[in-house]
């Protein structure tokens, strides 16, 4: 097959982890006789530096005219420490999610057997955990209006807004995943306090009765869900939740895997999908060859499977990552004192793909 891929490395460790994922895609292309055309574009702080806009029109154009999008990370400390900055790199990511209509973010969590001890949690707790977080991505407090400051500048507000239609379309995605898994959706909310959460409960219940009666639906308050995630993660199959809760809970889920550097994600909409690691730009590690490239490489595997239907190729990438981890070839975040850096880990995974049977 022949596919065009918009490649958005972004900031911090973005370029170096994306380089590994592209190497892996090249290996897949040569082994399985595919052609991937990479179309590079800027987003985040690097785009602000070049154009003043964190999500330039040219980048949007490249994303909408490519078959899929691979994204690294954005963020730069020079903006984090300047609350008065008018443009921020994160606005680029949010604008991109909104403009591309990426309303559902899928974050799978499943610890590697050989890595159980990398989690600060007891093996007996993380062993056998296998769940996905379906996070709503284009609504809630991230986008609600009004937002900002009052005139005196001494009060600030963010607004959480959800419509039934927004809730239904992402809930459909969660039930579809559950149907292919253990058939159980847990809606995480704060319905004891928030009106939006009560709308979520009502809407998801209705949808369940209408279309998904054969599946199990349960509800959990977000504070309780956070506790359960680290005390009994096996109890989850598909977690469905709104934007902000999903952001927080999916970082917490990184603890179960042993490193947030291992968790990929897919952000999907009606027309296209974007694949990105769940971690951020980790500026302290930029250029030091220590960032874990596995989350980005696994995001590319999700792209192969979901966007291109290349199931065998996706599995080959996944197996190669597992092999690298089992062989102790990965970055210091999961292998303390490791002599393998970002590049070496990428190279090893590439070699596994090339030498694997077909």
- Which are the catalytic amino acids? 142, 190, 223, 247, 251
| DSSP of 345-356 | HHHHHHHHHHHS
Listed ranges 11-19, 79-87, 177-185, 242-250: which one lies at the site for Mn ion (CB under 5 A): 242-250
Segment holding 202, helix H or strand E: helix 195-211
Number of residues near ligand IPM (by CB under 6 A): 6
Instruction: Count CB neighbours of 196 within 10 A.
Output: 21
> For ligand IPM, which residue of 27, 28, 47, 93 counts as binding (CB under 6 A)?
93
Listed ranges 231-239, 245-253, 284-292, 335-343: which one lies at the site for Mn ion (CB under 5 A): 245-253
Decide if residue 247 touches Mn ion (CB under 5 A).
Answer: yes
Listed ranges 25-33, 247-255, 269-277, 347-355: which one lies at the site for Mn ion (CB under 5 A): 247-255
Interaction pattern, residues 42-81, with ligand IPM; x per rule: CB under 6 A = ---------------------------------x------
> For ligand IPM, which residue of 27, 278, 301, 317 counts as binding (CB under 6 A)?
278
- Of 90 and 322, the one with the shorter C-beta distance to ligand IPM is 90
Residue with nearest beta carbon to Mn ion: 247
CA distances from 149 to 68, 153, 157 (A): 37, 5, 6
> For ligand IPM, which residue of 42, 247, 313, 344 counts as binding (CB under 6 A)?
247
**Separation CA 289–CA 97 (nearest Å):** 29
Instruction: Count CB neighbours of 259 within 10 A.
Output: 21
Four-CA torsion 145, 150, 155, 159, nearest 10 degrees: -10
Say if residues 281 and 317 touch (Cβ distance below 8 Å): no
Share in percent of the chain as helix, strand, coil (round to 5):
50, 20, 35
Interface ranges with ligand IPM (CB under 6 A): 75, 90, 93, 247, 278, 280
Interface ranges with Mn ion (CB under 5 A): 247
């Amino acid at each position: 097959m022949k596919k065009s891929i918009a490649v958005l490395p972004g900031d911090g460790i973005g370029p170096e982890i994306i380089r590994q994922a592209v190497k892996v895609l090249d290996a897949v292309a040569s082994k399985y006789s595919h052609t991937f055309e990479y179309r590079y574009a800027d987003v985040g702080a690097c785009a602000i530096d070049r154009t003043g806009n964190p999500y330039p029109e040219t980048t949007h154009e490249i994303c909408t005219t490519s078959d899929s999008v691979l994204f690294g990370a954005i963020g730069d400390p020079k903006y984090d420490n300047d609350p008065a900055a008018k443009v921020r790199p994160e606005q680029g990511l949010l604008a991109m999610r909104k403009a591309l209509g990426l309303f559902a973010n899928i974050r799978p969590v499943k610890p590697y057997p050989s890595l159980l001890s990398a989690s600060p949690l007891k093996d007996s707790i993380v062993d056998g955990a296998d769940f996905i977080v379906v996070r709503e991505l284009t609504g809630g407090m991230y986008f609600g209006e009004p937002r900002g400051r009052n005139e005196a500048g001494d009060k600030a507000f963010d607004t959480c807004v959800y419509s039934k239609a927004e809730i239904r379309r992402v809930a459909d995605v969660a039930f579809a995943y559950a149907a292919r898994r253990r058939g159980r959706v847990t809606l995480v909310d704060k319905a004891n306090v928030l009106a939006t959460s009560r709308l979520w409960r009502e809407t998801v219940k209705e949808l369940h009765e209408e279309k998904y009666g054969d599946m199990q639906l349960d509800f959990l308050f977000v504070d309780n869900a956070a506790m359960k995630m680290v005390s009994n993660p096996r109890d989850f199959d598909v977690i469905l939740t709104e934007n902000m809760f999903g952001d927080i809970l999916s970082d917490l889920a990184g603890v179960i895997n042993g490193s947030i550097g291992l968790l990929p994600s897919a952000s999907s909409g009606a027309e296209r999908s974007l694949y990105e690691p769940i971690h951020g730009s980790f500026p302290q590690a930029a250029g030091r060859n220590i960032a874990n490239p596995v989350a980005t490489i696994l995001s590319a595997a999700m792209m192969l499977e979901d966007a291109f239907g290349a199931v065998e190729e996706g599995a080959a990438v996944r197996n190669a990552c597992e092999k690298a981890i089992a062989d102790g070839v990965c970055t210091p975040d999961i292998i303390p004192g490791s002599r393998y850096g970002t590049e070496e880990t990428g190279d090893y995974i590439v070699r596994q793909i090339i030498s694997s049977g077909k």
